[in-house]
A and B are shown apart, each in its own frame.
Chain A
Amino acid sequence: MNQMLSAKVLEYRGKTLDFSPENPAEAKIPADELHEHLQKPSTARTKRLKERCRWKHASAGEFVEKGVRAGIERMRYITEAHKASIGQPEVIRRALGLANVLNKSTLVLQPDECIVGYHAEDPNQFPLYPELSSMGVQDFLMSDYAPQPAEEAAEIHKYWMPYSLQAKCQPYFDPTDLRRMYQFSSMEAPPFVSGYNSIVPPYETVLQDGLLARIKLAESHIADAQKAMSAFPWDGTKGLDYIEKIDNWKAMIIACKAVISWARRQGRLCKIVAEHFETNPKRQAELLEIADICHRVPAEPCKGLKDAFQAKFFTFLICHAIERYASGYAQKEDSLLWPYYKASVIDKSFQPMDHMEVVELVEMERLKVSEHGAGKSRGYREIFPGANDLFILTVGGTNADGSDACTDMTDAILEGAKRIRTPEPSIVFRYSKKNREKTLHWVFECIRDGLGYPSIKNDDIGTNQMLEYSQYSITGNGATNEEAHSWACVLCMSPGVTGRRKTQKTRSEGGGALFPAKILEVALNDGYDWSYADMQLGPNTGGIETLKTFDDVLEAFRKQYRYALQMCLSTKDVSRYFEIRCMQMPFVSAIDDGCMELGMDANALSEQPNGWQNPVTTIVAANSLVAIKKLVFDDKKYTLEQLNDALMANWEGFDEMRADFRKAPKWGNDDPYADEIITSFYEDIIGGEMRKITNYSGGPVLPVGQAVGAYMEVGSRTGPTPDGRFGGEAADDGGISPYMGTDKKGPTAVLRSVAKVQKNQKANLLNQRLSVPIMRSKHGFDIWHSYMNTWFDLNIDHVQFNVVSTEELRAAQREPEKHHDLIVRVSGYSARFVDIPTYGQNTIIARQEQDFGAEDLEFLDVDI
Chain B
Amino acid sequence: MEADTCKQCAQFFSVPKDADDYEAGKADCVLEKEDEKGKYWLSKPVTENSKRCDSFRLKR
Contacts and interface: CB of A to CB of B under 8 A. Distances in A.
A268 B35 contact: no
Interface of A: 52, 54, 67, 103-104, 106-111, 121-124, 257, 260-261, 264-265, 268-269, 272-273, 276-277
Interface string B26-60: 00101010010111111111000000000000000
Nearest to A299: B20
Given A122-B42, A269-B43, A276-B13, 18 more contacts: A52-B38, A103-B21, A106-B44, A107-B43, A110-B39, A110-B41, A111-B38, A124-B35, A260-B20, A261-B20, A264-B19, A265-B28, A265-B45, A268-B19, A268-B28, A272-B28, A272-B30, A277-B30
A106 B20 contact: no
A277 B20 contact: no
A104 B23 CA distance: 13
A276 B60 CA distance: 13
B28 A108 contact: no
Given A110-B38, A257-B20, A260-B20, A265 B43 contact: yes
A131 to B, nearest CB: 23
B13 A104 contact: no
A106 B42 contact: yes
A210 to B, nearest CB: 14
A104 B40 CA distance: 19
Nearest to A54: B37
Nearest to A53: B37
Interface string B12-24: 0101100111000
A109 B30 CA distance: 10
A268 B43 CA distance: 9
A273 B41 contact: yes
A268 B18 CA distance: 12
Nearest to B22: A261
Contacts of B45: 103-104, 265
B30 A108 contact: no
Contact of B43 (A67, A106, A111, A122): A106
27 contacts: A52-B38, A54-B37, A67-B35, A103-B21, A106-B42, A108-B41, A109-B40, A109-B42, A109-B43, A110-B39, A111-B39, A111-B40, A121-B42, A121-B44, A122-B42, A124-B35, A257-B20, A261-B20, A264-B19, A264-B20, A265-B21, A268-B13, A268-B19, A268-B43, A269-B41, A272-B30, A276-B30
Contacts of B35: 67, 124
A265 B30 CA distance: 11
A372 to B, nearest CB: 15
A124 to B, nearest CB: 8
A156 B39 CA distance: 31
A456 to B, nearest CB: 35
A265 B20 CA distance: 9
Contact of B30 (A257, A264, A273): A273
Nearest to A106: B44
A265 B13 CA distance: 12
Contacts of B41: 108-110, 269, 273, 277
Contacts of A111: 38-40
A276 B14 CA distance: 13
Nearest to B40: A110
A269 B28 contact: yes
Nearest to A49: B38
Contacts of B16: 268
A620 B39 CA distance: 49
Interface of B: 13, 15-16, 19-21, 28, 30, 32, 35, 37-45
Nearest to A73: B44
A272 B16 CA distance: 12
A265 B16 CA distance: 11
Nearest to A275: B13
A123 B16 CA distance: 26
Given A260-B20, A272-B30, A273-B30, A123 B43 contact: no
Contacts of B32: 277
Contacts of B21: 103, 261, 264-265
A121 B44 CA distance: 9
B33 to A, nearest CB: 8
Contact of A108 (B13, B15, B20, B42): B42
Contacts of A54: 37
A121 B31 CA distance: 12
Contacts of A106: 42-44
Contacts of A123: 37, 40
A32 to B, nearest CB: 29
Contacts of A52: 37-38
Contact of B40 (A67, A108, A264): A108
A272 B13 contact: yes
A288 to B, nearest CB: 15
Nearest to A102: B21
A110 B43 CA distance: 12
Nearest to B44: A106
Given A103-B21, A257-B20, A261-B21, A272 B38 contact: no
- The 9 closest A-B CB pairs, nearest first, are A261-B20, A269-B43, A107-B43, A106-B44, A109-B41, A110-B40, A52-B37, A52-B38, A261-B21
A98 to B, nearest CB: 15
A277 B37 CA distance: 18
**Which of B21, B32, B44 is most buried by chain A, counting CB atoms within 10 A of its CB?**
B21
A769 to B, nearest CB: 34
Nearest to A105: B44
A342 B44 CA distance: 37
A282 B43 CA distance: 22
A260 B30 CA distance: 20
A122 B37 CA distance: 13
A63 B50 CA distance: 36
A54 B38 CA distance: 10
B9 to A, nearest CB: 12
A272 B19 CA distance: 14
A109 B28 CA distance: 13
Nearest to B39: A111
B42 A107 contact: yes
A297 to B, nearest CB: 14
A745 B22 CA distance: 69
Contacts of A104: 45
A109 B39 CA distance: 9
**Which of B28, B32, B43, B44 is most buried by chain A, counting CB atoms within 10 A of its CB?**
B43
Contacts of B38: 52, 110-111
Contacts of B37: 52, 54, 123
A260 B37 CA distance: 30
A54 B36 CA distance: 10
Given A110-B40, A111-B39, A277-B41, A269 B30 contact: yes
Contacts of B20: 257, 260-261, 264
A442 B16 CA distance: 47
A272 B13 CA distance: 8
Nearest to A124: B35
Contacts of A277: 30, 32, 41
Contacts of A103: 21, 45
A782 to B, nearest CB: 43
A12 B45 CA distance: 70
B42 to A, nearest CB: 5
B57 to A, nearest CB: 12
A272 B20 CA distance: 17
Contacts of B42: 106-109, 121-122
